Amino acid sequence: MIKIKLSAIILILFILLSSGFSQGRKEISIPNIPGYITLKCDFHMHTVFSDGTVWPTVRVDEAWLEGLDAISITDHLENGSRRNEIKGDDNKSYDLAVSRAESLGLLLVKGAEITKGMPPGHFNVLFTTDANPLDNNDHRIGLKIAHDQGAFVMWNHPGWKAQAPDSAIWYDEHNYLYDQDWFQGIEVFNSTESYGEKVYRWAKDKNLAIICNTDIHGIVGMQYDLVNGHRPMTLVFAKEKSLGGIKEALFARRTAAYFNDSIVGREEHLEGIFKQSIEQKNHEIKLKKGFTDNIYIYNSSDIDYVLILQKKSKDFSVPEKIVLKSHETTLLPLTGITNNCDNIHEINLSFKISNFVVVPDKNLNISFKVINHN
């Protein structure tokens, strides 16, 4: 009798202990920049309330596990294909997910996707107060209402092959919408697609916020390698971690795109990320002909920085390409070539970061300075 009771207790204990397992949240190491918090955001995704395959709370759980700070669920307003199976208006996916987001500390931006043929294409409305009136056959009416609601609007996937087979085209209709201030951002990356220099130039010349999203319809983990990589995301440089902070930063165009191991954005933001990621451990070296000394550089971020040397010296050699691996200290070797290398006092090594693109078409330039003590 006692034996049975004991084994039953052990079994119950085992069940209780094993059910206590939970998966932890991954933390994304991209530093804050001076004056701003770097928030990791994905502002484009779908659920069963349009043509996605998951329930809205799953979007919240995925994003939280992956280390994101904020998301927006942007179901197609026009997609009625599931209306017979899934009941609810255009606010329903937000309404179902918001308390789950709040309980996890994830910021959920109320959003929707206006889905039209090209032109004008698809537009995401963020910070809508009510998505129902945005659903109008005339996109101009929907975008005007979004504007009146104080929403932030982005042009989605301008170079999506289904709507722009050759490359993205800026139509007259986009001029009209832009002149009304009915959109303020543009996706330079969507899902696995990059729209390249042409769209970077629009972001720069027309002062649009640079946006990078998944537009995920299925499960994030089936489309991206979440162990060795991350989903595409928009970095938002906010004054505070709040919905208001994100909205202010979007309208101020303080954003960058984080796609694979590349970051695309404005110079001051990219420079901030690099400088806050890197610690140069020594500021003095000894150069001598035939000998090598090193600069030790620690990279605390998740990004592998690919540096390309900009100017060679005849007196000492430096690798033309070097990768500052994430979460490692890299040795940058300097080898004396001539006897004159003893006489150089200050050395400034200039590199461009090949995976940091300043819109529209250049790489971020950085330098390391050392004093030669001989």
Minimum separation from the CB atom of position 42 to Zn ion (A): 12
User: Cβ(184)–Cβ(158) under 8 Å?
Assistant: no
Site string for Zn ion, 268-297 (x = CB under 5 A): ------------------------------
Between residues 120 and 245, which has the closer beta carbon with respect to Zn ion?
120
Q: Are 187 and 213 in contact (CB under 8 A)?
A: yes
Site for Zn ion in 172-191 (CB under 5 A): none
The nearest distance, CB 23 to Zn ion, in angstroms, is: 27
Task: Give the residue with the Cβ less far from Zn ion, 187 or 315.
Answer: 187
Query: Binders of Zn ion among 237-256, rule CB under 5 A?
Result: none
User: Cβ of residue 348: shortest distance to Zn ion, in angstroms?
Assistant: 46
Q: Which is nearer to Zn ion, 38 or 190 (CB)?
A: 190
Query: Can you spell out the DSSP letters for 249-303?
Result: HHHTT-EEEEETTEEEE-HHHHHHHHHHHEEE--SEE---BT-EEEEEEEE-SS-
Beta bridge partners of 40: 235
User: What is the secondary structure of 124-144 as a DSSP string?
Assistant: EEES-S-SGGG--SSHHHHHH
Window 190-229: residues binding Zn ion (CB under 5 A): 215
The reply to whether 139 sits near Zn ion by the rule CB under 5 A is no
In the complex, the smallest distance separating the C-beta of residue 352 from Zn ion, rounded to whole angstroms, is 34
d(CA 111, CA 43): 8
Q: Count residues near Zn ion (CB under 5 A).
A: 4
Binding to Zn ion (CB under 5 A): which residues in 86-115?
A: 113
| Exposure letters 83-113 (e unless 16+ CB within 10 A, then b) | eeeeeeebbbbbebbbebbeeeebbbbbbbb
Amino acid at residue number 192: T
Does 122 bind Zn ion (CB under 5 A)? Our answer is: yes
Least distance in angstroms from the C-beta of 215 to Zn ion: 4
Query: Which residue lies nearer to Zn ion by CB, 90 or 113?
Result: 113
Closer residue to Zn ion in complex, CB, 213/301:
213
Torsion of CA 308, 313, 314, 315, to 10 degrees: -120
Helix (H) or strand (E) holding 6: helix 2-19
The residues with which 257 forms a beta bridge, in sequence order, are 234, 264
Min CB(254)–Zn ion separation in Å: 24
Q: Does 69 bind Zn ion (CB under 5 A)?
A: no
Instruction: Give 2 or 162: the residue with its C-beta nearer to Zn ion.
Output: 162
Binding residue for Zn ion (CB under 5 A) from 72, 156, 163, 234?
156
Closest residue to Zn ion in the complex (CB): 122
Residues 6+ apart with CB under 8 A from 142: 77, 114, 125, 133, 134, 135, 136
Select the span of 28-36, 83-91, 154-162, 281-289 touching Zn ion (CB under 5 A): 154-162
Least distance in angstroms from the C-beta of 169 to Zn ion? 16
* Closer of 114 and 249 to Zn ion (Cβ): 114
Q: Where in 22-51 is the site for Zn ion (CB under 5 A)?
A: none
At closest approach, how far in Å is the CB of 16 from Zn ion? 42
- Which CB sits closer to Zn ion, 33 or 125? 125
Contacts of 112-117 spanning 24+ positions with Cβ under 8 A:
112/74, 112/75, 112/76, 112/77, 113/44, 113/46, 113/50, 113/74, 113/75, 113/76, 113/77, 113/156, 114/77, 114/78, 114/139, 114/142, 114/143, 114/146, 115/76, 115/77, 115/78, 115/79, 116/78, 117/163
Least Cβ distance, residue 221 to Zn ion (angstroms) = 19
Nearer to Zn ion, 76 or 269 (CB): 76
Q: Which residues bind Zn ion (CB under 5 A)?
A: 113, 122, 156, 215
